[in-house]
Amino acid sequence: MNIQSAFADALLAPEAVCPTGLLAWNGSDPGRRFAVYRNNVMVSLIDALADSYPVTQELVGEEFFAAMARLFVQAQPPRSPVLALYGEGFADFIEAFPPAVGLPYLADVARLEMRRVQAWHAADAEPLTEQELARLLADASLPLARFGLQPSLGVLRSRHAVVSLWAAHQADDVAAALAQIAVDQAEAALVLRVGLEVDITRIGEGAAAFVGGLQQGLAFGAAAGQALAVEPEFDLAATLGMLIRGGGLCSASIPGDMNS
Partner 1 sequence: MNTAHAPVLTGIARSLPAAGGIGLKPEHFREILDTQPELGFFEVHAENYMVAGGPFHHYLTRIRERYALSIHGVGLSIGGASPLDEEHLDRLAALLDRYQPESFSEHLAWSSHGGAFLNDLLPLPYHAATLDRVCAHIDRVQERLQRRMLLENPASYVEFAASTMAETEFIAEVVRRTGCGLLLDVNNVYVACVNHHRDPRAYIGALPLPAVGQIHLAGFASDVDAAGAPLLIDSHGAPVAQAVWDLYEFALEGLGPTPTLIERDNDIPALPVLLAEAYQAQRIMRKRVAATDEVCA
User: Which positions touch partner 1 (CB under 8 A)?
Assistant: 1, 3-5, 7-8, 11-12, 21-34, 36-37, 40-41, 44-45, 48, 77-85, 119-124, 151-152, 193, 196
Report in angstroms how near the CB of residue 20 gets to partner 1 at its nearest.
8
Report in angstroms how near the CB of residue 123 gets to partner 1 at its nearest.
4
User: Do 202 and 163 touch, CB atoms closer than 8 A?
Assistant: yes
Report in angstroms how near the CB of residue 126 gets to partner 1 at its nearest.
12
In Å, how far from its chain's centre is CA 119? 8
Q: What's the distance, Cα to Cα, between the start and end of the chain in Å?
A: 58
Rounded to 5 degrees, φ, ψ at 202 are -75, 130
Residue among 152 and 158 whose Cβ is closer to partner 1: 152
Please state whether beta strands 249-253 and 197-203 pair in parallel, antiparallel, or not at all (unpaired): unpaired
Residue among 39 and 185 whose Cβ is closer to partner 1: 39
Residue among 120 and 181 whose Cβ is closer to partner 1: 120
Residue among 47 and 184 whose Cβ is closer to partner 1: 47
Report in angstroms how near the CB of residue 224 gets to partner 1 at its nearest.
29
User: 188 has which bridge partners?
Assistant: 157, 203
User: 4 has which bridge partners?
Assistant: none
Residue among 27 and 232 whose Cβ is closer to partner 1: 27
Report in angstroms how near the CB of residue 110 gets to partner 1 at its nearest.
20
- C-alpha–C-alpha distance, residues 105 and 134, integer Å: 41
Residue among 78 and 255 whose Cβ is closer to partner 1: 78
Indicate the DSSP class of residue 79: S
Task: Compute the C-alpha angle 68/72/75, nearest 5°.
Answer: 140
Report in angstroms how near the CB of residue 192 gets to partner 1 at its nearest.
12
- C-alpha–C-alpha distance, residues 164 and 169, integer Å: 9
Residue from 170, 25, 27, 24 nearest 109 by CA = 170
- C-alpha–C-alpha distance, residues 65 and 56, integer Å: 8
